[in-house]
Amino acid sequence: MPVTTPGRLAPLPTRAGLAVAALCAVVACGNGSTTGTKEPCTLIGAPKGVSVTIAERHAADVSTATMTVCWDGSCKEPDIRLHTSTSPGPAQCDDGVCVSRASPTGDLNGFADVEDLPTKPVEVRLVLFDTNGSELMDDRVTVTPSMKRPNGDHCPPGGPNAGVSVEDGALRKPD
């Protein structure tokens, strides 16, 4: 497994890694439990933490980021690794089998695990750096993390999480 420095762009997963992840997802879906309903609850979870998206017009200059998340008078500084954002490309079909390749969007994204993240307002500070280590942006925004239910309302919730984005040179919270 490749070693990455916190805050550095991580390598894209290999085909073997993607195959293992897909197999795990199928096994997890097949071994779902239920919570008193007939609908299964899979092992799909929701991570506890804060996601960040850096718009294309800023992403080209960004190399690393640091994040600080504060609430109730204490702060955490979780690691955050930035990755190239992708979206599905056009589907190519041959004899009923379709394939689509991921294409870079120009944006960057990352996720900072924050284990004790509450479901009340927190202040997120994001600092972006270029390849020389020079600071490009230092901004703060208050967001309220919420519990996510990736399996639907009939299943137990995953962890609380929130998202922020960098647009027009400023840190923003979702609408």
For residue 42, CA distances in Å to 20, 147, 151, 154, 156 come to 17, 17, 7, 11, 10
Number of domains in the chain: 2
CA 45, CA 161: separation in Å to the nearest integer? 12
Region 32-49: what's the mean pLDDT?
71
Residue 5 lies in a domain: no
Of the listed ranges 20-24, 50-54, 68-72, 148-152, the one predicted with least confidence: 20-24
pLDDT class of 27 with cuts at 50, 70, 90: very low
Calculate mean pLDDT across residues 151-156.
86
Give the pLDDT confidence score for residue 142 in this predicted structure.
Answer: 97
Residues 131-153, mean pLDDT to the nearest whole number: 93
pTM of the model: 0.72
Are 16 and 80 members of one domain?
no
DSSP conformational letter for 27: H
Same domain, yes or no: 118 and 66: yes
Residues 77-114 have pLDDT tens digits of 999 999 999 999 888 999 889 999 999 999 999 999 99
pLDDT of 37 reads: 56
Instruction: Tell me if 147 is assigned to some domain.
Output: yes
Please give the residue range of the domain that contains residue 107: 47-172
Mean pLDDT (the chain, rounded): 83
Is residue 161 in a domain?
yes
Residue 72 CA to residue 119 CA, distance in Å, equals 12
